[in-house]
Amino acid sequence: MTGDTTRPRIGVLAIQGNFAAHAEALTEAGAEAVEVRNPEELDGLDGLIIPGGESTTMLKFLERRRFFDALKEFVQARPTFGTCAGAILLAKEVRHPAQKSLGALDAVVERNAYGRQIDSSIETAPSSLPGDPLEMVFIRAPRIVEAGPGVEVLARRDGFPVLVRQGKLMAATFHPELSQDRRVHRQFVEMAREEKRK
């Protein structure tokens, strides 16, 4: 796909967590992936992935060097996909315990919601993406306990939303980069491509 002018340039926040697998998934899904470690590197991106990891650790890093404010501005304006800890950072409200967030996704997220016994698991559930049910890898996953009217639910687990979209934002409480299926990343690459065409 090299030379394709519609190949969007998508950043992956690379301060902590499993950013490398996201970069690989993005490349497979037809994007150019760029690791982002400084606020200046957000310039010129058509989209951004905030990966899973540990949201508390990411927050600490972001609060240094005015990265938090730059990111807050970015997620209001351009396509952003938060997975697991990234979804926690995007949410309007975080519980269990409460913590600061970017406040962009109209949802209430509860951290580490599945308890110790079943904190990590692989599930398969239907989604509104075309094709077969989706494999979902959950690792100390949060739960979206409330979602506003503007939030479209693309997949659920036990009745709770696990993949959602709100305009230019997408969030997953699982780790799509750890499955072979690239439908979730392709969906986000498509959102970034639309942004690039503007």
Whether residue 133 contacts residue 118, with contact meaning beta carbons closer than 8 Å, is answered with no
| Contacting range for ligand GLN; rule: CB under 6 A; set: 2-10, 82-90, 154-162, 164-172 | 82-90
179 binds ligand GLN, rule: CB under 6 A: no
172 binds ligand GLN, rule: CB under 6 A: no
Question: How many chain residues bind ligand GLN (CB under 6 A)?
Answer: 11
d(CA 23, CA 31): 9
143 binds ligand GLN, rule: CB under 6 A: no
Outline where DSSP puts E strands in 14-142. Answer: 32-36, 47-50, 80-83, 91-95, 105-110, 120-125, 134-139
Residue 54 assigned ligand-binding role: yes
- Residue 22 a catalytic site member: no
Residue 90 or 189: the one with the smaller Cβ distance to ligand GLN is: 90
The residue annotated as part of the active site, out of 22, 32, 175, 185, is 175
Residue type, 7: R
d(CA 10, CA 35): 9
The residue annotated as part of the active site, out of 22, 32, 110, 177, is 177
Residue 41 assigned ligand-binding role: no
Residue 128 assigned ligand-binding role: no
- The 8-class DSSP code of residue 41 comes to G
Residue 47 assigned ligand-binding role: no
121 binds ligand GLN, rule: CB under 6 A: no
| Contacting range for ligand GLN; rule: CB under 6 A; set: 24-32, 53-61, 129-137, 186-194 | 53-61
- Residue 84 a catalytic site member: yes
d(CA 169, CA 74): 11
Q: Structure tokens of 172?
A: 């997953």
Exposed, middle or buried by CB within 10 Å (0-12, 13-18, 19+), for 192?
A: buried
- Residue 185 a catalytic site member: no
136 binds ligand GLN, rule: CB under 6 A: no
Active site residues: 84, 175, 177
